[in-house]
């Protein structure tokens, strides 16, 4: 059985790089009928934030990534980690190091001055003397001193690291709290992880974790290190580029389906296909096919995907989603017309809400450039005549009814469509942009359309 996990630390909000890792891990587990586990790596108690933990769980709920079993919190497993630390000490595979901070700083300064890579020199590895007073020791694991540490990465292929590159690293701090690489290896083994998919910033943590697996006689999982997401200039993604809290995407009007579709294509592909349903992702995703090079974040592509999903979301569901953006149209008798008229031109739910409000709320002002362009010659007379024709008309319900009326009007007056279309658009919406006038009038209804026309004439027509 395939068992994967996502293991964030609750020191900040979940960002899209983390969500992509979680998505890849979730897809691989679910595709294989396995388990996807959630573990919170909160051993650094001084940096944990309760609100960050809540945000991680909220983001998972929003995008619909379910996990198996209970959330595992490393802060609740300290007794377990201590048991393994004591085991390694008893077996002579770990030792107490009494090196002071001043000694360590001096060691590193000397190594850097000689052009060497800073590393612990193993001075307490086989220490049998009297411990110095006043120094609370850390616990270091005995790393191999010769040969290579070799593993196969599912993305990058075979990785070979000289044993000399890994020093006797700390597995427990002087206050007894365990360190990251130690607890990750123990938890991944005890939780039955078969596959670990994570960012390639963890690639060089892997040799240290393999040292822990070897010392404890545990079986390591298969590793897949995913290249980072870069901005369009090829640099590390910043908040300005999109590396923000996942829930900020919700606040900006993105649909979770669009965000997941966008993320799955950052580093993985299936032919030239760009749009993937969740079912298709589950059918085709394979971490062995993850690209070896970094991915490029493209906001235009995300907006294009989001527009696609908005257009293809049922209107009842859209109406419900819009409530978070201050728009309540679930009970509006023209809800279907309203959404059909606006969702085709909306890239986000924020835009959709604005486009809906532009129709439902009578214009409080009129765009000066649009007024100058639309109200020329006989524009006011044409608007009055059109309002009169509207008043006399019966059976106006559908956009096609209003369109037919406009066709009759321009034919009777022998004018071009723009002669009525432009001033009518400004009268109804206050600007030149927006949906077709037949759709807008069908949404507003006859009486409101006439009222807006009359208000525009009263407001804009020059007074003699």
Annotated binding site: 239
Q: How far is CA 233 from the centre of its chain?
A: 20
Which DSSP state fits 136? P
d(Cα 177, Cα 180) in Å, to the nearest integer? 10
d(Cα 215, Cα 164) in Å, to the nearest integer? 17
Among 293, 285, 398, smallest CA distance to 337 is for 398
Contact 170, 197 (CB under 8 A): no
Burial 338-359 (b: 16+ CB within 10 A, else e): bbbbbbeebbbbbbbbbbbebb
Binding-site annotation, residues for ATP:
239
**What stretch of H or E contains 429?**
helix 417-429
With 0-12 / 13-18 / 19 or more C-beta atoms within 10 angstroms meaning exposed / middle / buried, residue 113 is exposed
d(Cα 194, Cα 185) in Å, to the nearest integer? 12
d(Cα 136, Cα 117) in Å, to the nearest integer? 26
Between vectors from CA 255 to CA 249 and to CA 256, what angle results, nearest 5°?
Answer: 85
Among 239, 188, 243, smallest CA distance to 77 is for 188
d(Cα 157, Cα 125) in Å, to the nearest integer? 33
Active site includes 239?
yes
State the catalytic residue, choosing from 96, 142, 208, 239. Answer: 239
Question: Annotated catalytic sites, by residue?
Answer: 239
């Amino acid at each position: 059985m395939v068992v994967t996990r996502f293991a964030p630390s609750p020191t900040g909000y979940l960002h899209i790089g983390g969500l992509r890792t979680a998505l890849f891990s979730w897809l691989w587990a679910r595709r294989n009928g396995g388990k996807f586990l959630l573990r919170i790596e909160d051993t650094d108690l001084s940096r944990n934030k309760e609100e960050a933990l809540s945000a991680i769980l909220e983001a998972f709920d929003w995008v619909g990534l379910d996990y198996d079993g209970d959330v595992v919190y490393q802060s609740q497993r300290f007794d377990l980690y201590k048991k393994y630390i004591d085991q390694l000490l008893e077996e002579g595979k770990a030792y107490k190091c009494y090196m002071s901070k001043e000694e360590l700083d001096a060691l590193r300064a000397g190594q850097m001055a000689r052009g060497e890579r800073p590393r612990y020199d193993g001075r307490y590895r086989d220490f049998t003397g009297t411990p110095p007073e006043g120094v609370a020791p850390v616990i270091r694991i005995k790393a191999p001193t010769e040969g290579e540490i070799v593993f196969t990465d599912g993305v990058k292929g075979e990785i070979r690291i000289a044993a000399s590159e890994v020093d006797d690293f700390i597995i427990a701090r002087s206050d007894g709290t365990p360190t990251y690489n130690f607890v990750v290896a123990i938890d991944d083994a005890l939780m039955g992880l078969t596959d670990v998919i994570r960012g390639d910033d963890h690639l060089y943590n892997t040799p240290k974790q393999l040292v822990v697996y070897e010392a404890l006689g545990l079986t390591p999982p298969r590793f897949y290190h995913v290249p980072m997401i870069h901005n369009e200039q090829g640099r590390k993604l910043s908040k300005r580029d999109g590396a923000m809290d996942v829930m900020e995407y919700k606040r900006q009007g993105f649909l979770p389906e669009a965000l997941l579709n966008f993320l799955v294509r950052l580093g993985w592909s299936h032919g030239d296909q760009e749009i993937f349903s969740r079912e298709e992702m589950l059918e085709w995703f394979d971490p062995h096919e993850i690209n070896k090079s970094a991915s490029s974040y493209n906001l235009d592509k995300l907006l294009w995907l989001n527009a696609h999903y908005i257009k293809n979301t049922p209107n009842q569901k859209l109406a419900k989603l819009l409530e978070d953006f201050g728009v309540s149209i679930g009970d509006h008798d023209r809800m279907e017309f309203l959404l059909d008229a606006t969702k085709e031109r909306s890239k986000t739910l924020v835009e959709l809400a604005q486009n809906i409000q532009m129709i439902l709320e009578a214009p409080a002002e009129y765009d000066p450039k649009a007024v100058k362009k639309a109200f020329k010659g006989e524009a006011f007379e044409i608007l009055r005549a059109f309002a009169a024709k509207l008043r006399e008309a019966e059976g106006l319900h559908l956009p096609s009814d209003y369109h037919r009326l406009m066709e009759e009007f321009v034919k009777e007056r022998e004018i071009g469509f723009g002669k009525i279309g432009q001033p009518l658009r400004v009268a109804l919406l206050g600007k030149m942009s927006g949906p077709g006038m037949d759709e807008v009038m069908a949404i507003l209804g006859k009486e409101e359309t006439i009222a807006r026309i009359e208000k525009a004439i009263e407001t804009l027509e020059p007074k003699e």
